[in-house]
Structure 1
Amino acid sequence: MSAEEAVKDYTVVVTNYQTNGRGQMGTHWNSEDSKNLMFSVFKDVSFVNIDQHFYISITVALSILKALQEFNIKKLKIKWPNDILSENKKIAGILIENVIKQNQLQGSIIGVGLNVNQTEFENLPNASSLKLLSGEHFNLDELLQVILKHLKMNFEILKSGNFQALKADYEELLFRKNKPSTFKNAEGHLFSGFIIGVSNSGCLKVQLEDQIIKEFDLKSISLLY
């Protein structure tokens, strides 16, 4: 839609079933028909500088987490860069594609997959859903409206330029922050360190041995848990 015409801010496309769902780094997102929330939102982000694009990801992750807190989902964390976990299990994935023209951000297409009422996840030991976690059945439309409410509130904070408040909230909720963790690098080697935060460009800041702090991008590191 956005490639063919001007799309209104907060245009939402929702589907009950995906035949070819995509996740980060070319992974697949599988979902049972009509049990989960899968949607994309178009957001005008022309007020964000291109070198601050990671703040869009921060804003979206925080919005989904804060929305889920309204439904009393417990022990919510953000696994860098923007997976949403509850009780150490993944319940939501976010994929953001930015529209860039002449080195300026124009819009973001924010894709979200949230496991809601599905209760079986074959060969996905780290996956869960809101129903598995709470025992309750959820109304998908109600969930969507609460998420959109939080998106609008947090994008207003971003638009006001209060980047540090968003980043502080995000870092406070980072999964395994300040805990000894094991990572795998691009060559497949394992190493240990402590997550201490993220850089403004979205790299993960890890404290290694001898108090050395190193920054890693998404292609160069994965957190094992």
Structure 2
Amino acid sequence: MDIIKVDAIDSTNTFLRDMNREKYLTKSICVVAREQLKGKGQMGTIWQSNPGENLTSSVFMPIADLDVMDQFYISMTVSLGVYDALDLLMLPKLSIKWPNDILSDKYKMCGILIENVVNNGRLRGAIIGIGINVNQQDFNNLPLAGSLKQILGRNFDLDEVLQVVLAKLEYRFSMLHSSNFGNIKKEYESLLFRKNKPSTFLDVKGDSFVGIIQNITSAGKLQILLEDEIIQSFDLKEVKLLY
């Protein structure tokens, strides 16, 4: 995979999106920045990262023969790839917090932002922003953020971390085809944070309720068993897990 390194940039996702508009990308490519000035997280949040201390990158992955309705399998595939990489780096107690945060115990190690590239109703690629906390040790007002150095007690080479992540991503994407959807979903669900444990959630109105994470739908909605023994499906904007 080709790798483009830049010093400072607004957003690696934006960089690749602009590149795709100009060149119509057909092969996998990664851009990695020492510093992101306007790094983006899920739902418009800002990704905080000290310059040169963390992995801030985006990857374009070409996709063939995948319907738009199956796009959450991309999210699952990316989550599993990053999980594999952090597992290889020996992070303990790893899990996936729906939809695609990677946790070590209760600490968020990685944020993922996926922007799918669609042409004529078909997915033809994905721009995958991956931010991994590597050597940063202080996170202002983010008590649940953690890094490789905090947990494992040593510095890591960012290039080595990147190579592990890219290798695992490429492997997982090689397995992304409809005949393997069942295996992808089963493995993803087995790694879900707080699965089968009573947990507290917030709904869109800000009201709290207790439920138990069961599974996900093929469209990526979270299925929660409620107190009245009813399983309800929630979209990303409809529920927040408190932990």
Check whether TM > 0.5. yes
Equivalent position SS for 1:153: helix
Residue in structure 2 matched with residue 38 of structure 1 by the alignment: 56
Counterpart Cα distance in 2 of 1:215 and 1:16: 39
Residue in structure 2 matched with residue 67 of structure 1 by the alignment: 85
How far is 1:127 from its partner? 0.3
Aligned pairs (5 A) from 1:94-133: 94-133=112-151
Q: Is the 8 A contact 2:76 2:100 kept in 1?
A: yes
Structure 1 pair 160–215 and aligned structure 2 pair: CA distance change class (3 A): closer
Counterpart Cα distance in 1 of 2:27 and 2:178: 17
Equivalent position SS for 1:108: strand
Identity %: 49
Q: TM-score, normalised by structure 1?
A: 0.98
Residue in structure 1 matched with residue 218 of structure 2 by the alignment: 200
Counterpart Cα distance in 1 of 2:123 and 2:26: 16
The counterpart of 1:175, out of the listed 185, 190, 193, is 193
Pair 1:188 & 2:195 matched = no
Aligned pairs (5 A) from 1:22-37: 22-37=40-55
Counterpart Cα distance in 2 of 1:115 and 1:48: 31
Pair 1:159 & 2:173 matched = no
Unpaired segments ≥5 residues, structure 2: 1-18
Unpaired segments ≥5 residues, structure 1: none
The number of equivalent residue pairs is 225
Counterpart Cα distance in 2 of 1:184 and 1:197: 18
Q: What is the CA RMSD across the aligned residues, in angstroms? A: 1.0
How far is 1:89 from its partner? 0.5
The counterpart of 2:228, out of the listed 210, 220, 225, is 210
Equivalent position SS for 1:206: strand
Superimposed CA distance per residue, residues 88-140 of structure 1 (whole angstroms, 9 cap, x where no aligned partner): 00010000001112211121100000000000001001101000010021111
Residue in structure 1 matched with residue 9 of structure 2 by the alignment: none
Q: Where in structure 1 do 4 or more consecutive aligned residues deviate above 4 Å?
A: none
Equivalent position SS for 2:108: strand
Q: TM-score, normalised by structure 2?
A: 0.90
Residue in structure 2 matched with residue 223 of structure 1 by the alignment: 241
The counterpart of 2:152, out of the listed 94, 111, 134, is 134
Counterpart Cα distance in 2 of 1:187 and 1:6: 42
Superimposed CA distance per residue, residues 59-113 of structure 1 (whole angstroms, 9 cap, x where no aligned partner): 0001001111111100001000000000100010000001112211121100000
Counterpart Cα distance in 2 of 1:185 and 1:173: 23
Counterpart Cα distance in 1 of 2:51 and 2:23: 30
How far is 1:208 from its partner? 0.5
Superimposed CA distance per residue, residues 37-57 of structure 1 (whole angstroms, 9 cap, x where no aligned partner): 011000111321111100000
The counterpart of 2:164, out of the listed 143, 146, 152, is 146
How far is 1:206 from its partner? 0.3
Pair 1:11 & 2:25 matched = no
* Residue identity opposite 1:126 in structure 2: L
The counterpart of 1:84, out of the listed 102, 110, 114, is 102
